[in-house]
Amino acid sequence: MNEQQERIRVLGAGICSLMLVLGVARFAYTPLLPLMQQQAGLGVAAAAWLAAINYAGYLSGAVVASLISDLVLKDRLYRIGLVVAVVSTAVMGLTTDLTVWALSRFVAGLASAAGMLLGTGLILNWLIRHHHRSELGIHFSGIGLGIASCAAAVQVMSHWLDWREQWLVFTLFGALLLIPALRWLPAPDRSMLTKSGQAMVDTPPSASFMRLLMAAYFCAGVGYVVSATFIVAIIDHLPGLSGSGTLVFLAIGVAAAPACIVWDLIARRTGEVNALILTALLQVVGILLPVTGDSLAAALAGALLFGGSFIGTVSLVLTMAGRYYPTRPAKMMGKMTVAYGTAQIIAPLITGWLAMRLGSYVGGLYLAAAVMAVGTVLLLLLKATEKRDAVARLAAIETSPQHG
pLDDT reported for residue 281: 96
pLDDT reported for residue 21: 95
d(CA 132, CA 176): 28
3-state secondary structure of 76: helix
pLDDT bracket for residue 246 (50, 70, 90): confident
In angstroms, the Cα distances linking 323 to 136, 147, 161, 314, 320 are 11, 27, 46, 14, 5
Closest to 333 measured CA to CA, from 129, 100, 145, 121: 121
In this structure, what is the dihedral angle of CA atoms 132, 149, 279, 334, given to the nearest 10 degrees? -60
Q: Give pLDDT tens digits for 182-239.
A: 999 988 876 655 565 576 677 788 889 999 999 999 999 999 888 877 888 888 888 8
| Cross-strand bridge partners of residue 193 | 199
Give the DSSP H or E segment for 264.
helix 245-270
Return the CA Rg of the chain: 21
Q: Give pLDDT tens digits for 327-359.
A: 777 777 888 888 888 887 788 888 888 888 888
Q: State residue 193 phi and psi, 5-degree precision.
A: -120, 150
pLDDT reported for residue 19: 95
Closest to 86 measured CA to CA, from 31, 161, 19: 19
pLDDT reported for residue 284: 94
pLDDT reported for residue 199: 65
Q: Span 28-34, mean pLDDT?
A: 88
Which residues make Cβ contacts (< 8 Å) with residue 23, sequence separation at least 6?
142, 143, 145, 146, 147, 149, 150, 253
d(CA 349, CA 220): 16
Asked if residue 245 has pLDDT above 90, the reply is no
pLDDT reported for residue 292: 84
pLDDT bracket for residue 285 (50, 70, 90): very high
d(CA 306, CA 131): 32
Q: Span 163-188, mean pLDDT?
A: 95
Asked if residue 397 has pLDDT above 80, the reply is no
In this prediction, what percent of the chain has a pLDDT beyond 90?
45
Does residue 69 form part of some domain? yes
d(CA 348, CA 341): 11
Does residue 403 form part of some domain? no
pTM above 0.85, yes or no: no
Does residue 18 form part of some domain? yes
Mean pLDDT of the chain: 87
pLDDT reported for residue 253: 86
Which residues make Cβ contacts (< 8 Å) with residue 30, sequence separation at least 6?
151, 228, 229, 230, 231, 232, 249
CATH of the domain at 8: 1.20.1250.20
d(CA 379, CA 238): 33
Closest to 137 measured CA to CA, from 1, 277, 306, 322: 322
d(CA 159, CA 155): 8
Q: Span 231-253, mean pLDDT?
A: 84
Does residue 134 form part of some domain? yes
Does residue 334 form part of some domain? yes
Does residue 191 form part of some domain? no
Does residue 59 form part of some domain? yes
pLDDT reported for residue 274: 96
Phi-psi sector, 312: left (phi>0), alpha (psi -120 to 50), beta: alpha
pLDDT reported for residue 1: 66
pLDDT reported for residue 94: 94
How many domains is the chain partitioned into structurally? 1
Q: Which domain holds residue 368?
A: 3-185+204-398
d(CA 355, CA 97): 23
Does residue 195 form part of some domain? no
Q: Give pLDDT tens digits for 105-133.
A: 999 999 999 998 899 888 888 888 888 87
pLDDT reported for residue 70: 83
pLDDT reported for residue 323: 79
